[in-house]
Amino acid sequence: MQSLFGEEDFSPQTASLSFADVILPVPIPRMFTYKIPRNLLSEIQIGARVIVQFGRKKILTGIIGKVHNKAPQAYEAKPILEILDIQPSVNPLQIRFWVWMSEYYCCHIGEVMFAALPSGLRLSSESKVQANPNFDRENAPYPMDEREDKILDALEQNSELSYEDCEKVLGIKTIHPILKSLVTKEAILIFEKVQEKYTPKIETRVRLTKDFVSDRKSLETLFEELAKKPKQESILLKYLRDVPIFQSPKLNEKGLDKAKLLEEGDSESSLKTLIKNGVFESFKQLINRIGEVEPEKEAAKLSRSQTQAVQEIKGHFEEKNTVLLHGITGSGKTEIYIQLIQEVLESGSQVLLLLPEIALTTQIVNRLQQVFGSKMGVYHSKYSDNERVEVWNGVLSGRFSFVVGVRSSIFLPFDSLGLIIIDEEHEASFKQFDPAPRFQARDAAIMLAYFHQAKTLLGSATPSFESYYNASKGKYGYVQLTSRFGDSALPEFHLANLAADRKKNLLKLDSSRLLREKIQEALGKNEQVLIFQNRRGYSPYIQCEDCGWTGQCVQCDVSLTYHQFAEELRCHYCGYKEKVPSSCPACGSTQLSTMGMGTERIEESLTLLFPEARMGRMDLDTTRSKYGYQRILDEFGAGQIDILVGTQMITKGLDFGRVTVVGIWDGDRILNFPDFRAGERAYQQITQVAGRAGRRAEKGQVIIQTRNPEHSLFEKVLKGDYDEFFRQELIDRKKFFYPPYVKLVKITTRHTDFKKGEKAAIALHREMAKIPVKKIVLGPEKGLIGRIKNQYQFESLIKLERSGATQTLFKEKLGEILQELQAIPDFRSVRWIVDVDPS
C-alpha cells in the first residue's frame, strides 16, 4: 500500500540499518544482501536465522552476518521474508570463527555454515500452488492452453499441489513458465510452506496427586476403595512398584511415562478414570534424548604425578595459551582432564572436550557422565539430527556447560569457553577430508580458543609432529606424564620375521610361528589377544589365478574391494558394487582367489588355527550400527571373546586387564605409507596398539610381523624414545621441506576429459608459480588414483614458507587465479579442490 508520503521512512534508525548481509548454505564465495522490511527491523540481530528467497523459487534459511545501510548498486535487493530466531541461534563469535575458517581453509562461508548448523536448524521449504478462489474459470478473460488447463483440472481435485506434483501432472520438468503464466492470468496462487524440521520429543507422564503422597492414610483408603476395581488397582500397584514413593516421596515428582505404565496391557480408560478421580495427574515433559543423568561419582583422587601435572599445566597457562600434555598410554590423562574441567566450570566458563570419532562411544564418555551428570552434552556423529539440535540448543540455553564431542562440535554455539581439550590430538580423523570445509579440528579449536580468550590443552601419548615441534620451540607449554598408572610395566616387543619363516616353511595362513606360539600361550592362560590390521589404502580383492584378472571399478581407477559378508565387490571411492562373479569374466576360469588380507580374512585364518578360541572382529563393517562398537567392547570386556581382530578402532578405548598379547599382522604395511608422515604415523600406530598390552599385572607382549625386521623405524619404536625419534625425523623434514618447516596446500584438479584436466592443472601451476611469495610448487602429477567417479585428477602440492603473511597473500592470490581460470571457456567444467594442511 502506498502511503501519502511514499514508501520511504526517514527516521534515522531505520534509514541507517536497512540491509543485511546473509550467509546462505550455498557454495558461492560471498554473502548476499537482502532488504530488511521495516516491520522486522527491531527483531534483526546478527546470528539470527532468517528465511529468504534465493533465485526464482528456492527458499533458504540464512544467517544474518552483518547489518548495514549500503544499498547494493548493481541489483535490487530482495526482502527478508521471515525471522526465525528471537534469540540468535548463532553468536557473533561463531560468525567470526566461520569467516576465519573460510579464509584459512579456502572455502566458501556457506560451506562452513552448511557444516556447522545441524540440518534440523535449517528449514525445509516447498513451493505450493493453489487455485485462486477469486478466479472464475468459466468466464476467464484469457484463454488457457492445454497444459494450463491440466493444472487447473488437478487443482479442482486437490486443494494444493507441490511443484513436484505439477511436474507429475504434466509429465515434464520445466513447469515454472506454465505456473508463471497461470499466476499472471490470476488463476492460481503460489505460496511457500516453511516448517521447522526439528520436533522435540514430548512424553506424557503421570504421577500421583499430592494428597496421596504426603498422607499415607489416604493411600490406604484408596486401596480399600479400589479393592473391587481390579483394573485400576493393578495400575496403581504397578506405579508404586516402579516408583517407590515410600522410600522417597520425591520420586513421585518425576512420575512415570504413561506409555510405560500401560505397556503390560492395562487399559487406558482405567487410567483415565483414575485421573478423573484425582488419584493421578498427567503432565507433559520435554524429553532429553541424551537421557538425564545425575552425577553419581566424585572424581577419583589424583595420584601425585597427576596432581603435579595439573599444577604444571596451570602454571603454563599463566603465560601460554596452549599446552601439550604428553602422557604415555595408561598414565591417567582422563583424571587430569576432569580436574581441570571442574575448575573451569566452577569459574563459570564453558569447556569443550574433543575426542576422535572412534573413541567417543567408549568408557571415557561414561566416566565423564558419572562425574558431570546432565550439565555435560555429548555430540556424536552417530547421533540423529534431532539429538544434535538438542545439544546445540542445550549449549545455547546454558543447560550444557560442558560438551564432549567429535570434530564438528567446535561449531556449537559456545559463548564463553574457558578451556578446550583435544584428546589424542595426533589422530588423523580430526582433519576433515571431504567435503569442504577441509578443516583440521585441532588447529581450528586453537583458533576458536583464541577468539574466546580460552586455553587449549592437547593430550596424546604420541604427539603430532606439529604440536611437539611447537612445544619444543616454547610456543606451547609442555607437560610430561611418565609413570604408568598402577605401575604396570611397558610391553615387550618382538619382531616376527615373515621372510625367514617362509623360507623355513613355518608360515601358516600368513601367520608367523612366533605369533602363533604367543597366542597359544595366552589362550592357555585364559588371557586375551588383540590382532591389529591397518586398513588404510589396503583391502582384500579378488584375482583370477589363471589370467590375473581383478575386478576394477567402472568409473574409478581402483580395484574393487572384496566383502565376504555380502559376497560383493565394492568400490570404496564411489560406492559402486557388484556381486562376486562365479567365474572369471575375462577367461572363464573358476579359479578366483582372494588376495590381500583384510580383517575378515585374518579372522578366518585364526579360526582355522585356533578352533577352540572365541573370535571377535571390530572394523567398519561390524561397528556400523549405533551400538555395534559398544557391544563388541562389552563382550570383550566380559571375557566372551578370546581373540579380537580389528582395525584402528581397537587402539581406542580398550582398557581391559586380560590382554597380554598384541599382534600387528602386517608391520610393513604401516611403514610403506606413501606420505611424508609415514614414519610419524607408524610410530604412533605401533605405540598406540602396543599400549593395549599388559595393562595390569602381567607384562604385555607385542609381536610385529614383518619382512624387514632390520628397518630402522622398528628399532626406534622399540626403544620407546619419542624425543629421539622426533629429532631424527625432523632432520629429514627440514631437508626435504615438509611440515613443520613449511605449510602445505594441496590442489586437486578434476575433469572428465584427461587432456582438458591436465591442461587446466598445468595452467594453474604456471599461474601459481607467479605468486610473489617464498614457496615451492610441485606437480601437477596424475593423482594416486587416476580417476574417481569418471573424473581424472591431477594434484599439485605447494610448500609455503611458515609465515602468516605468506600464507594470507598466497591464498588470496590463489582465489583470484582460480576465479580467472574458471572464467576461461575451456576450463568451465573443471573442478578445483583446495586442501590446506592436508594430512
Binding site for DNA (CB under 7 A): 26-28, 30, 32-34, 52-58, 72, 74-75, 77-78, 171-174, 176-177, 825, 828-829, 831
Q: Does the annotation place 166 within a ligand binding site? A: no
Own/partner long-range contacts of 610-616 (Cβ < 8 Å, ≥24 apart): 610/519, 610/520, 610/523, 610/642, 610/643, 612/523, 613/519, 613/523, 613/642, 613/643, 614/640, 614/641, 614/642, 614/643, 615/641, 615/642, 615/643, 615/644, 615/645, 616/641, 616/643, 616/644, 616/645
Cα–Cα distance measured from residue 405 to residue 565, given in angstroms and rounded to the nearest whole number: 32
Nearer to DNA, 59 or 632 (CB): 59
Three cell numbers, residue 637: 570386556
d(CA 499, CA 519): 20
If the CB atoms of residues 231 and 831 are measured against DNA, the closer one turns out to be 831
In angstroms, the CA 615 to CA 644 distance is: 6
Sign of torsion over alpha carbons 399, 403, 407, 413? positive
- The answer to whether 290 touches 402, Cβ cutoff 8 Å, is no
User: Minimum distance between the CB of residue 64 and DNA, rounded to whole angstroms?
Assistant: 13
Q: How far is the CB of 47 from DNA (least distance, A)?
A: 19
User: Annotation-wise, does 574 bind a ligand?
Assistant: yes
Peptide bond into 295 cis (omega under 30): no
Three-class SS state of 355: coil
CA–CA separation, 464 and 759 (whole Å): 37
Q: Which residues of 93-132 are buried (b: 16+ CB within 10 A; e: fewer)?
A: bbbebbebbbebbbbbbbbbbbbbbbebbbbebebbbebb
Tell me how far, at minimum, the Cβ of 486 lies from DNA, in Å. 53
Any binding-site annotation on 587? Answer: yes
How near is the Cβ of 28 to DNA at its closest, in Å? 5
Residues with Cβ within 8 Å of residue 37, at least 6 apart in sequence? 79, 80
Task: Report the C-alpha gap between 313 and 628 in whole angstroms.
Answer: 37
Comparison of 55 and 611: residue with beta carbon closer to DNA: 55
What is the spatial distance between Cα 423 and Cα 421, in angstroms, rounded to a whole number? 6
CA distance 10 to 268: 63
571 labelled as ligand-binding?
yes
Closer residue to DNA in complex, CB, 173/301: 173
Please check if 584 is assigned to a binding site: yes
Judged by CB, which is closer to DNA: 26, or 368?
26
Task: Considering the complex, state which of residue 74 and residue 86 has its C-beta at the smaller distance from DNA.
Answer: 74
176 vs 197 by CB, closer to DNA: 176
Residues in Cβ contact with 736 at an 8 Å cutoff, skipping those fewer than 6 apart: 676
Neighbours of 17 (CB within 10 A): 14
Q: Which is nearer to DNA, 81 or 240 (CB)?
A: 81
Residue 24 Cβ vs DNA, minimum distance, rounded to whole Å: 8
Letter string b/e over residues 543-579, b meaning 16 or more CB atoms within 10 A of that residue's CB: bbeeeebbbebeebbbbbbbbeeeeebbbeeeebeee
The three cell numbers of residue 793 are 585428477
For residue 411, the minimal CB distance to DNA (Å) is 20
Toward DNA, which CB reaches closer, 52 or 222? 52
Shortest CB 173 distance to DNA, Å: 7
Smaller CB separation from DNA, 55 or 133: 55
Minimum CB distance to DNA, residue 124 (Å): 13
Other C-beta atoms lying within 10 Å of the C-beta of residue 348: 9
Closer residue to DNA (CB): 77 or 262: 77
Concatenate the DSSP letters of all residues of 81-95 into one string. EEE--SS-SS-HHHH
Neighbours of 820 (CB within 10 A): 12
Write down how long the chain is.
Answer: 839
| CA–CA gap between residue 15 and residue 462 (Å, rounded) | 58
- For the record, the C-alpha cell of 414 comes out as 559456545
Give the largest CA-CA distance in the chain. 102
| Shortest Å distance, C-beta 52 to DNA | 7
How is 642-669 classified by DSSP, letter by letter? SEEEESGGGGSS---TTEEEEEETTHHH
Pairwise CA distance, residues 126 & 40, whole Å: 23
The nearest distance, CB 517 to DNA, in angstroms, is 56
- Closest distance of CB 791 from DNA, Å: 11
Do residues 671 and 713 touch, judged by C-beta distance below 8 A? yes
Residue numbers in the known binding site for Zn(2+) are 544, 547, 553, 556, 571, 574, 584, 587
Residue numbers in the known binding site are 544, 547, 553, 556, 571, 574, 584, 587
